[in-house]
Structure 1
Amino acid sequence: MSEEDIRITKSREAIVKAMETLLEQKPFRKITVNDLCRTAVVGRTTFYAHFEDKYKLISYILQQEQQGLETILLSDSPPEELILEVLLDIRGNKKLYHNLFVAEASDELEKLLQDTFTSFFTNILTVCQAEGVQLASSSLPPLLAFYSSGVVGMIMWWMETDFSMPPEEVTSCLSNLFGFLWK
């Protein structure tokens, strides 16, 4: 990798880290490109060489977060452990999630989580069908919408109530609601 490539990579990483740092401090709508440049110690030209605006930057960060959550959910661990891992990840980034999604009431997180859990339940429901488990419908799309919306709704409630329940209790509740799918 050339020195120029390393500088480009380091600049991008600094900008991403700056957004994450600023999201620990304030809601997304209050973060400016100047804030990002100051925190990342890069010029505006460098920022715009990497991202069209702060919305493209946050979209990039959300894609990375979705890939991380999908990696967790698509591993070979039992479903209860996978859900608990996701909840622990969300709680571990509490300020970031709160300032990005709860304070903003953004649809971005809901879409990110919806897509992630749709993949998760697609895998589970496909196995259930193959094993002859009697599902509420032979058509997967309505089931996927129902299950993923339920999980996302509970996660959003959990964040909005400032993580009022331990993640293990939320996992247990979800397991009781959906557990028949992975028994």
Structure 2
Amino acid sequence: MKKCDNGQIDKIGFYVARGGINMKKDLRYQKTKIAILRAIEVLLQNKDFEKISIKDICETAQVSRSAFYLHYTDKYDLAKQCQLELVETGNRFIKERVITKRDKLMLTMLNLLLGEGKVMALLISSHGSSEIQESIRAVMRQNMQKNILPLTNIKFANSTEERYFLSFFSNAIFGVIQEWINSGQKESPEEIVALVDKNFSFEFK
């Protein structure tokens, strides 16, 4: 075991840095998380989320149950964290870039699902959980109301009109994305955007 600058040694033999765990320990933590995410991605391709057990995830990831529980309380927590990370990434993208057309917004969403949101895409698919999917729909509605509607030229007579529009639009977009994922994402994001663009007439400011 090695000593830190202040002479302290942690229980498993790694440096205890003043700011917390050391780099070596942190890298092991991150590698375990990546292995878990890759495992759930593999499992969801052929198995329904509700039928996937912690044992399945750990065996596929080749990690111990204790290592899994360092990251997540259960598989639903795993799914929730994937969802939150994707939403945060999407919101950051919207804030950092000036999106002035709805096709660019849709393209951003699809590219995120093709890239770092692969697990989330599989959770949206027919192998995903209905509870998770409803949660995603709710997040989409909230996101649209908070971040998207202010950028459009849409005017509502009252809150009821707005509520039904948000429900219709978010469910329609979710349905398109789910069908795209279920069919193997054969079309490019650009093709899906062009398809959706034909069915909606609102414009950004």
TM-score by length of 1: 0.71
Are positions 1:109 and 2:133 aligned together? yes
Query: In 2, Cα distance between the equivalents of 1:123 and 1:42?
Result: 39
User: What's 1:76 paired with?
Assistant: 98
CA-based RMSD: 3.3
Aligned to 1:137: 157
Of stretches 157-166 and 56-65 in structure 1, the one that deviates more from structure 2 is 157-166
Moved more, 57-66 or 167-176: 167-176
CA distance in 1, matches of 2:114, 2:154: 35
Q: Is the 8 A contact 1:137 1:143 kept in 2?
A: no
Q: Which residue of 2 aligns with 1:123?
A: 147
Counterpart position of 1:150: 172
- Verify: 1:16 aligned to 2:3, yes or no: no
Larger displacement relative to structure 2 (71-80 or 39-48): 71-80
C-alpha distance in 2, partners of 1:161/1:105?
Answer: 18
> Is contact 1:122–1:144 with CA below 8 Å preserved after alignment?
no
- Of 77, 87, 90, 2:113 maps to 90
**Structure 1 gap ranges (5+):** none
The aligned runs of 1:2-41 (5 Å cut-off) are 2=22, 3-41=24-62
Please tell me whether the aligned partners of residues 36 and 61 of structure 2 are also in contact (alpha carbons under 8 angstroms).
Answer: yes
Q: Matched residues, percent identical?
A: 27
Alignment match of 1:168 (pick from 156, 180, 190): 190
C-alpha separation in 2, matches of 1:26 and 1:72: 32
* 1:123-145 deviation per Cα after TM superposition (whole angstroms, max 9, x unaligned): 342244xxxx4624343434323
After the TM superposition, which of the residue ranges 169-178 and 35-44 deviates more from structure 2? 169-178
SS of structure 2 residue aligned to 1:102: coil
| Contact 1:27–1:104 (8 Å) recurs in 2 | yes
Does the 8 Å contact 1:23/1:100 carry over to 2?
no
C-alpha displacement at 1:119, in angstroms?
Answer: 1.6
Q: Say if 2:33 and 2:71, in contact at 8 Å, map to a contact too.
A: yes
- Distance in 1 (CA, whole Å) between partners of 2:184 and 2:168 is 24
Structure 2, gaps ≥5 residues long? 1-20
- Residues 68 and 147 of structure 1: CA distance in aligned 2, closer, same or farther (over 3 Å): same
Larger proportion of helix: 1
Once residues 13 and 134 of structure 1 are traced to their aligned partners in structure 2, the CA distance between those partners, rounded to angstroms, is: 41
Q: Matches of 1:4 and 1:98 in 2, distance apart?
A: 30
**Equivalent pairs, count:** 179
- The verdict on how the C-alpha distance between 1:98 and 1:49 changes in structure 2, with shifts beyond 3 A counting, is closer
Structure 1 residues 125 and 97 mapped into 2: Cα distance closer, same or farther (>3 Å)? closer
Contact 2:122–2:181 (CA under 8 A) maintained in structure 1: yes
